[in-house]
Amino acid sequence: MDTDLSNYVDLNEIWRFIKIKKLIHKIPYEIAEAMFWDAAKCRKIITEKSYSKPLSDIEILAATRINYMKDGTGKIVPFPRKYREEWLMILKSIGETEN
């Protein structure tokens, strides 16, 4: 996915990878864009321009995280990030080869 080996991935690289791996029917561009902004929203923002910079591998890892919270009864329940399944689908397809 990181075509220039910079350890950062921008929205265009993510979308290009989705098209190469033929995941478009599962992850349309609107979802890919929302995934990018959802992962970027956790970074410390100094300026608005820094918000749109490419994602690091740590930010992508954080987008797949599951947090655990107590519900009303005191039971601990999983609380995954919004686009976790889509990120996992992309990450799992990295090592796959075309038949």
The reply to whether 62 falls in a domain is: yes
The reply to whether 30 falls in a domain is: yes
Q: What is the pLDDT of residues 29-64, one digit of tens each?
A: 999 999 999 999 888 777 777 788 999 999 999 999
Domain that holds residue 26: 8-93
**pTM of the predicted model, to two decimals?**
0.83
The whole-number average pLDDT for the span 81-97 is 89
For 2-85, where are the E strands, in sequence order? 8-9, 55-56, 66-70, 76-80
The reply to whether 33 falls in a domain is: yes
The structure tokens listed for 6 are 């910079």
> What single DSSP character describes residue 60?
H
The pLDDT confidence band at residue 99, using thresholds 50, 70 and 90, is low
| Total number of residues shown for the chain | 99
Contacts of 18 (CB under 8 A, 6+ apart): 24, 27, 32, 90
The reply to whether 89 falls in a domain is: yes
The reply to whether 21 falls in a domain is: yes
CB-CB contact of 56 with 35 (8 Å): no
The reply to whether 41 falls in a domain is: yes
